[in-house]
Structure 1
Amino acid sequence: MTRKMIWNDLVRNRAVSLITILFISVAAMLLSLAAILTVNLFGAVDRLMADAKTPHFMQMHTGAVDMAGLENFADNNRNVADFQVIPFLNVDNTELILGGNRLTDSVQDNGFCTQSSRFDFLLDMENQPVNPQPGEVYVPVCYLRDGIVNVGDPAVLCGRTFRVAGFVRDSQMNSTLASSKRFLINEADYTRLAPFGNVEYLIEFRLHDLSKLSAFETAYSAAGLPANGPALTWPLFQMISAISDGIMIVILVLIGLLVVSVSLLCVRFTLLAKIEDDFREIGVMKAIGMRVWDIRGIYLAIYAVMAAIGSGFGFMLSLLFKDALLERIRLNLGGSGSPARELLLGGLGAGIVCLLILLYVNGCLRRFRCISAVQAIRFGAQDDSSHSSRIVRLSESRVVSCNFILGLKDVLARKRLYGTMLAVIILASFIMVVPQNLYHTISGDDFVTYIGVGNCDLRMDIQQTGQIGEKTQEIGRYMENDPEIADYALFVSKIFPVKLDRGETENLKVELGDHS
């Protein structure tokens, strides 16, 4: 009998049922996709870092390296499992041409390195360490994603021609948020290209106990070892690798929660309307002795069927679209190797939507306790006289029309019903307006000033090794000879004269513009 009632109700209200199922399906699809992407993202990051043997602590350093001091520190620190120093050759982007595309406009600091023999491996697209042959170069995977170069294309590096033999994943610098990118070349080629760039050293450590990483950082700093550059750690590598693709997941979750809210409000709207239409029948069922739970069970079963259909359909849609959304993650990081877990969590995301619908419907049906059987049978509607205001006479109104007053009275008489409709409209507008405003905010000219970069026409990042006074005078003379920027010479002269703590490399940032 219950199945027949459910079927008759769905058939009789086909349009309302289809729209409700559609909203539930979209909400389930978005949350299921977010769960699938999350498990794949973090699984791929963990697998990449495990295959590459990412260092737990890395100190970037420009200048002379005290190898004896580093070896002595590593030998005396019981937490050090392994230690190495990798040279990284920084070159100017104007010296790099990939597949006919010069990297002059690239904001990345590109450089060359050779494959490590102990840890911090650069991996191919199968997550295996790569050993290039002479004349071959393996390019960071970000340039494949951007469509700049393909396998087999020529690459002109510092005037020498190489063949792009493949692409590498870098567990440290893979993300677009990382400012540096490593090209992998043969040791003989690295020796030939060494005169064309500046060497920066990556001082790397693997630890026995990762929980003591903070203490290790403190010990390294207290030892006075080479530290002319930023220090990076394992948690930071994980965050940088995950955050760029994690933004997409956060957006999916946000939109999914908004669609869930809209779905709940749509269910509330249709349920209140249905209760209002069936008010007399509900009174008859209470009058013949049916328990409130039995009456609630009939309506709950109807929405349970719609929630189950919508959630199941949404889960199937998520499986259909997941490959397109996972393509970027798999290209950057590789596979997660956990298909069973992604199906489990994806189904869990759709199941949560179904559970929320049922809990919400069950809460809305509690109003059955307050329905009077006599009132429902006699009037066929709930008595709102206790909540109504004074009688509004149509003859008293000379400002607005009768239709407006009648409409207003209907809205005030059914505030919950129309309030639900208003909430749906507000949330739908929010879903449409927020992405557009976010785009305009990020693309605005003043956005860079909000994140700490001054409004300037030119920015120079200068690495200097002790001759800061000479460089200050050199740049000042250049600017005085250029009529367009001569007014900024005084401004630059005030920026450059700073005291260096170590007398070693110092990163100086100069911003030129209307600030002078």
Structure 2
Amino acid sequence: MFQRLIKNDLKENKVSMLVIGLFLLLTLTLSFAATRLTVSLTSSIERFVETAKSPHLLQMHSGNVDRKRMQNFVQQHPEIASWQLTDFVNVEGSAIRINEKNSLQDSSQDNGFSSQNQNFDFLLDQNNQPAQPRTGQVFIPLYYYNSGKIKIGDQIRVGKLQLTVQGFIRDAQMNAGLVSSKRFLISQTDLQILKTEAFASNENLIAFRVHKLSQISTIEQAYKNAELESNGPPMITYPTIKMINGFNDALVILVMGLLVMAIIGITFLYMRFALLTKIQEDLQQIAVMKVMGLPQSFINRVYLTKYYFCLALATIAGWELSFLLSSPFKKQMALSMGQSPTPFYSYLLEMLVALLLCLLVFWLTARPLSSFKKMTPGQALRLASSNSLTETRSTPKMGLPTIPFLDRPYFALKTILSHKKLYLTILFIVSLISLLILLPASLYSTVMDKNFIQYLGAGQADVLVDISQTEDIDTKAAQLLKELRADKDIAEINQYQSQNFSYQDQQGQTQQLRVTLGNHAGFPVKYSQGRYPKNEHEIALSKLKAEELKLKVGDSLTLTVDGQARKLKVVGIYSDLTYGGKTAKAVFVTKQAQTLNSLTTIRLKDTSNKAQKINEWKKRYSNYKLTDVEDFFHQTFDDTLAMLRLIQTSVFWTGLGIVFILMTLFVYMIFTKDQADLALYRMLGFGSERLRSHYLLAVCFILMLALAIADLLLLSLGQEVCSLLLSSFGISKLQLIINKSLTFLWTPLALLLSGLTAAHISLRALNKLEIGRYLKEHSS
């Protein structure tokens, strides 16, 4: 008997079980994939930096390095396990010729050439072994290999050097597009030849490894306090190296995790809908089983066995499919960081995830049937005759609104009120799905917006001119500013100088703070709190620096300026990604501090001739770094933007599919519950099309309300989620830029079309409604 009931149930509900199976499959596949990718990413990064023996601290410096002084510093700090000083020969992109046809002139990257290191900081080949180029060979950065600009076998000419591309290298420090410097690897012989070229400038990479990772911050601060060579960017630390290598993959896993949590909720609600629908249809059969004296455990097995069987199949298939889903991401990880075996504990975590999901399914599916446990056979029969799980439900009154053309909205509203809990549930689900569709789209639009650069610590300029790693920066910067102010094509220009100033932290230790001096009213950055400094007694701090110092707007910070203590009031906190995200802005004047770099920001009157102006300035100021801000942004964030675009597209189509399936089952469930009432309406002369329009209007109302709720959640909760995700990188109070056409036109149209099409398909059953049967039941 049990097997016959199960077989009949499966035959009658093939579509419903298929849909539930697909949802469980999707949930488990994504859960397994997200778990595996998280473990793979962390283990790949660890294995990569260990294989490359990445430095724990790295300082770039242009100019001579006092080796004896550096050696004394190392001897004074036993925490240091080893150190090295290596060459990084900077070469302008225009000097790197590819196959005598192209060059890297348009690249925003700082390109340099190095030879293989002997102790640590190895540049790895395709086999994750230290690459060993011969004379006349070059290994290119992975960044250019991925972009397709340079291919294996290409010929590269740099001055006197003619080099053949032997392969690509994995560089733990400079792999990511987020890092603006890239290393080419050549032999030591070729490097010495390149250093003699007039267009080449040598930069030193000063690297340290410590015995314990907990000692990194100690050595970093000791290096700053010793005022050793450091005219390049701020010192890069081991945690920063690991974070940069995993940024894009972590973003994908994070979004996948959010998607998993949402789909888990949707899947469980969907299963509840399906189970309630089946129970609603089989009330008479359940009542008969109660009259026959069959135990509750038997009834539970009849209705739940198919779900457990479906769950078992979905778990097995989902585990297999998760390998297909995670494979492209793991291939990208392998390309970036080398092959890394999946740790055994990854499979244990996946088993734990599967177990938790199974327990949730067991608990969820058992609840709807629990109401029959204490029910007597007589109560079950009365419940079956009412054709409702709730005996108190009464047939809706047949009154009509006084205004004839309002009858359709009237009956649509009555339908919603008759099933408030179910409509509220579907409203919640569709709102969540809509939010999941709109959030990645809005984040993509925000990052693509021209104002986003202000969250990165830079003003909204067209061109940046950076003078650094040279002597007499102040004089050169003043001359540059004088010449550019005479250029009639420039609409606005400003100049800033960055210098280090010391202060005492809460433990009484002397620390260094990088402060940008200048007029911050022009080309402002985004301030999450307060404003920019206006006088010499004010200072603004970056978000990460303010958190480190535990300061807020209105607090004070004392800096040592020209040998004197100067108390400054914190008037603003801003977002910044530059120089580790720990910077400050002020307007005071100093005479003794050494200028680390000078940055000139330019806004052009006509951006159509921007490329021409940049080329003109590059010829005139060949020793300075000129950057097209728009090109720099796209080249730096292209990988991230591509990933966001992929996520946006995937979530959009997945969301539409889920809405279609959900609405198909939901409307069919409502129709099943209302069959007796619909028979009465048909008897009174209401046609099938008329009744169908009532349900379609109700569905349309719910979908539109869900979209409105999703928009509100996007502007409140969505904005907070995005800010939370980006806060660890120094971006705070992110203002989402809404893609109006997508948010208010295309997404609503797509969701309405998906939901209404599903509802229309489910309501075809109206044409097959057995009026006589339900009228007979109603009259009895």
TM-score normalised by L of structure 1 = 0.89
1:273 matched to 2:277? The reply is: yes
Deviates more, 1:158-167 or 1:468-477: 468-477
Q: 1:370 to 1:514 in 2, by over 3 A?
A: farther
State the secondary structure of the residue aligned to 1:513.
Answer: strand
Give the letter for the 1:503 counterpart.
Q
Rounded Cα–Cα distance in structure 2 between residues aligned with 1:228 and 1:268? 64
Q: Which residue of 1 aligns with 2:63?
A: 63
Q: Which residue of 2 aligns with 1:244?
A: 248
1:509 matched to 2:599? The reply is: yes
2:467, 2:473 within 8 Å by CA — same for their partners in 1? no
Give the letter for the 1:509 counterpart.
L
Q: Which residue of 1 aligns with 2:340?
A: 336
State the secondary structure of the residue aligned to 1:302.
Answer: helix
Rounded Cα–Cα distance in structure 2 between residues aligned with 1:384 and 1:500? 83
Rounded Cα–Cα distance in structure 2 between residues aligned with 1:104 and 1:364? 67
Residue 430 (structure 1) shift: 3.1
State the secondary structure of the residue aligned to 1:228.
Answer: coil
Q: Which residue of 2 aligns with 1:86?
A: 86
Rounded Cα–Cα distance in structure 2 between residues aligned with 1:181 and 1:355? 50
Give the letter for the 1:183 counterpart.
F
Give the letter for the 1:222 counterpart.
N
Q: 1:236 to 1:23 in 2, by over 3 A?
A: same
State the secondary structure of the residue aligned to 2:157.
Answer: strand
Rounded Cα–Cα distance in structure 1 between residues aligned with 2:70 and 2:339? 36
Equivalent positions of 1:297-336 (< 5 A) are 297-336=301-340
Deviates more, 1:234-243 or 1:460-469: 460-469
Q: Which runs of 5+ in 1 are unaligned?
A: none
1:190 matched to 2:188? The reply is: no
Residue 281 (structure 1) shift: 3.0
Q: Which residue of 1 aligns with 2:161?
A: 160
Q: 1:291 to 1:107 in 2, by over 3 A?
A: farther
Equivalent positions of 1:319-468 (< 5 A) are 319-338=323-342, 345-346=349-350, 349-350=353-354, 352-369=356-373, 373-380=377-384, 381-382=387-388, 384=390, 392=397, 394-395=399-400, 397-398=402-403, 404-463=409-468, 465-468=470-473
State the secondary structure of the residue aligned to 2:464.
Answer: strand
Residue 109 (structure 1) shift: 1.4
Q: 1:457 to 1:223 in 2, by over 3 A?
A: closer
1:109-145 CA-to-partner distances (Å, cap 9, x unmatched) read: 1111111111111110111012211111111112111
Rounded Cα–Cα distance in structure 2 between residues aligned with 1:166 and 1:501? 48
Q: Which residue of 200, 203, 206 maps to 1:203?
A: 206
Rounded Cα–Cα distance in structure 2 between residues aligned with 1:238 and 1:352? 31
Equivalent positions of 1:16-165 (< 5 A) are 16-99=16-99, 100-158=101-159, 160-165=161-166
Give the letter for the 1:467 counterpart.
D
Q: 1:216 to 1:298 in 2, by over 3 A?
A: farther
Q: Which runs of 5+ in 2 are unaligned?
A: 498-517, 520-586, 606-780
2:473, 2:598 within 8 Å by CA — same for their partners in 1? no
Aligned-pair RMSD on alpha carbons?
3.0
Q: 1:126 to 1:510 in 2, by over 3 A?
A: same
Residue 233 (structure 1) shift: 1.5
Q: Which residue of 215, 221, 228 maps to 1:212?
A: 215
1:227 matched to 2:227? The reply is: no
Q: 1:265 to 1:148 in 2, by over 3 A?
A: same
Rounded Cα–Cα distance in structure 2 between residues aligned with 1:156 and 1:85? 27
Rounded Cα–Cα distance in structure 2 between residues aligned with 1:33 and 1:49? 24
Which protein, 1 or 2, shows the higher relative CO under an 8 Å CA cutoff with sep ≥ 6? 1
State the secondary structure of the residue aligned to 1:446.
Answer: helix
Q: 1:77 to 1:449 in 2, by over 3 A?
A: closer
State the secondary structure of the residue aligned to 1:139.
Answer: strand
Q: Which residue of 1 aligns with 2:510?
A: none
Residue 463 (structure 1) shift: 0.9
2:283, 2:383 within 8 Å by CA — same for their partners in 1? no
Give the letter for the 1:267 counterpart.
M
Residue 348 (structure 1) shift: 5.0
State the secondary structure of the residue aligned to 1:84.
Answer: strand
Deviates more, 1:362-371 or 1:216-225: 362-371
Q: 1:342 to 1:142 in 2, by over 3 A?
A: farther
Rounded Cα–Cα distance in structure 2 between residues aligned with 1:271 and 1:405? 30
State the secondary structure of the residue aligned to 2:105.
Answer: helix
State the secondary structure of the residue aligned to 1:128.
Answer: coil
1:466, 1:503 within 8 Å by CA — same for their partners in 2? no
Q: 1:119 to 1:78 in 2, by over 3 A?
A: same
Q: 1:336 to 1:97 in 2, by over 3 A?
A: same
State the secondary structure of the residue aligned to 2:172.
Answer: coil
Give the letter for the 2:363 counterpart.
L
Rounded Cα–Cα distance in structure 1 between residues aligned with 2:149 and 2:285? 69
State the secondary structure of the residue aligned to 2:63.
Answer: coil
Q: Which residue of 277, 286, 292 maps to 1:282?
A: 286
Q: Which residue of 2 aligns with 1:9?
A: 9
Residue 266 (structure 1) shift: 1.3
1:394, 1:402 within 8 Å by CA — same for their partners in 2? no
Rounded Cα–Cα distance in structure 2 between residues aligned with 1:152 and 1:395? 81
Q: 1:420 to 1:298 in 2, by over 3 A?
A: farther
